[in-house]
A = this chain, B = another copy of it.
Amino acid sequence: MKSVAIIAEYNPYHNGHHYHAEMARQKSQADIVIAIMSGQFTQRGAPAIFSKFARAESALKGCDLVVELPQFYALSYADDFAYGGIRTAELLGCDALAFGAECDDLEMLTAEAYRVKTVDVKSGRSYAQMTGDQAFSQPNNILAMQYIKAADSRLELIPVKRIENHYHDTQLTGRIASATAVRRAIAAGHDFSMAVPAAIDTSLAVSWEDFFPLLKYKIISHTAEELRNIYMMTEGLEHRLKSRINASQDFESYMQAIKTKRYTYTRLQRLLACTLLNITDRQTITDIRVLAMNDKGRAYIKGLPHVHTNINKKNASLYPLEVRATQIYNLVSGDRRNDFNTPVIYQRTSF
C-alpha cells in the first residue's frame, strides 16, 4: 500500500489544500494520503483559527489519515518545521512526500536548495536575498527546499505547483484563496464559502487577541530570570518583553511596542507563543498522535508501533506539549474537545 505524506497547517482547510491533496494522490499514485498537520499553534507563532480536531476533521475531505506535527516543530523556523514533518513521515513509513512549490521541477528545486545552502554559510543572507529570485522568497519554496534537504533518499519527493493564488495574498479572489485570505474573511464576517470544501462553524474562531490576557499574566507574574528559560528567549529579550507589557492592552499593540529592526514580526510572535505555552526545551519525536482517519487510514496504521489513536493517562506523558497546548487553547476556545475526550475522529470511507 503506497502512502504519500503532506506536511500542512490547514489553517483552515480550503480548496487550495484540497486540490493539493488530490494532486498528491494523483502524482504519487499512492493508495493513501497522510496529512502531518500542525496542532493548536502554527508556524507563524499564532494559535490556529480552529482547533486541531476541527481542522483534522475538515482534512478528511481530501486525506485518509491526519496526524499531529509535534507542537515544538509546528512552531519552529522552516528548518525545524521541515525536520519535524519529515521525521514524522519517516516514523509512519511514508513512501512519498508531496509539497507545494512555485514550480514543480524537482531537479531545479534540488539544485537551488543545495546552492542556497552553500551561499547561506558564506553570506548569512536570507534565501530571498541569496537567490535574487522572488519565486524563491515565497514561503512555500523555502519550506520545499527545507524538505528536500531534510528528507533521506528513501522518500520520494513530489513538488506540486501552486495555482492561482500566492501564500501572501490577503484578498479572497475566487475558489482558490490563501489561508490568510480565508482567515481575514472569517475575522471580517465576510462570505468565504466559495474558498472552502465544506461549511465551518466560525463561532469557534480564535486569535492571539483572545490569549493576550493569559500572555500578559505570564509575563507579569514571572521574573526576567524565570522568563530566560523560555525557548528562543535570547539576547535579553525577556527585559524588553517585561518592560512593555503593562502598558499594552491588546496583542497587536504589544507586538508594535516590542518589535525592533533586529527581529522579524514572526520571530517575536513565535517567542510569545513559546512563552504562552511555557516551552523551555527542544522536543524529540518518538511517537505519533493520530487526529483523524477514515477506514483506509485505519488500515494503514494497524500494527504500526508508536502510533496512538487515543490519549489516556498511560500515554499522555508522550505528548506533554501537545496536551498542554490544547488545554491552554481550550481556556479561550469554545471548542471543548481535548486530547483526552477526543481520542480520534473516525469516518467510514465512502467508496
Question: Residues on A close to B: CB < 8 A?
Answer: 213-214, 216-218, 220-223, 226, 246, 276-278, 320, 324, 327-328, 331, 338
Contacts and interface: CB of A to CB of B under 8 A. Distances in A.
A244 to B, nearest CB: 13
Contacts of A327: 220, 246
Given A217-B328, A220-B324, A221-B276, 19 more contacts: A213-B214, A213-B331, A214-B214, A214-B217, A217-B217, A217-B218, A217-B331, A218-B221, A220-B327, A220-B328, A221-B277, A221-B278, A221-B324, A221-B328, A222-B278, A223-B320, A226-B278, A246-B327, A246-B338
Contacts of A278: 221-222, 226
Contacts of A331: 213, 216-217, 220
SS class, residues of chain A in contact with chain B: helix
19 contacts: A213-B331, A214-B217, A216-B331, A217-B218, A217-B328, A217-B331, A218-B218, A218-B221, A220-B324, A220-B327, A220-B328, A220-B331, A221-B278, A221-B328, A222-B278, A223-B320, A226-B278, A246-B327, A246-B338
A253 to B, nearest CB: 16
A35 B223 CA distance: 30
